[in-house]
Structure 1
C-alpha cells in the first residue's frame, strides 16, 4: 500500500525573484527550498554527516573530472556545501559528491500557479 503524502504550501514563486533559496518550517521540520536551473528542490535542513544546518551552506559549483593538472569548474549553483565541515551535495539529486551512499533527505515539490508545495 502506497504511503499517502500531504501537500503543504511552502512558498510562492515570486519569493524567489531575488534569491535562490528559502528555509521554511513544515510540520516542525526545517526544509530548504532551492531554485536550480528553473526547478525547485526541497531538502531537510540537516547534514547527514554531523547534523549541521546544511541548507545555510554556500551554493556553488565544483571541479569536474578532468586530466591531470587540468582543473575544470562546472555545475555552478548546483552544489550545496555544508557550513560546518564542507561536505558537498548535489542540489538536484541530494547525493554527496564523493560518498555514493550518503545523501540529503529530500521531498517532492509541486508548483501550481504561483504556489510552491512540498509533499511530506
Structure 2
C-alpha cells in the first residue's frame, strides 16, 4: 500500500543506493546510481522512478502520470 498524501512536489530529485550481497564472501557492495532519476517523498522517504512513476520500495505502488511535452522551448503539462 502506498503512503498517502505526501507532497512529492517538495521532494528531492537525486539518485539512490543499489546493493549486491555476495553470499559466499558475506559481503555487501553498495553503489550510488540513477542520479537525477529518483524522486524521494519528503514525508515518508519512499523513492520513485521519476521517468516511470514506479515505486522503488513497493512493486504495488506507482505514481499517477501526467502527459507533458516540449513545445517551443517550454514544457506543456496537460491536466
Which TM-score tier does this pair reach, normalised by the shorter chain?
0.7 to 0.9
Match 2:44 to one of 46, 60, 85: 85
In the alignment, is the contact (CA less than 8 A) between 2:68 and 2:76 conserved in 1?
A: yes
* Structure 2: 5+ residue stretches without partners: 23-27
How far is 1:65 from its partner?
A: 4.1
TM-score by length of 2: 0.80
Extract unaligned runs of 5+ from structure 1: 1-47
The alignment of Structure 1 onto Structure 2 pairs a total of residues equal to: 73
The answer to whether the 8 A contact 1:79-1:90 is kept is yes
Decide whether the 8 Å contact of 1:58 with 1:83 is kept in 2.
yes
Q: List structure 1 segments (4+ residues) > 4 angstroms apart after TM superposition.
A: none
1:115 Cα offset (Å)? 2.3
DSSP-derived class of the 2:69 partner: strand
Match of 2:25 in 1: none
Partner-residue secondary structure (3-state), 2:66? strand
Deviations 1:12-70 (A, max 9, x none): xxxxxxxxxxxxxxxxxxxxxxxxxxxxxxxxxxxx51201112012121122423410
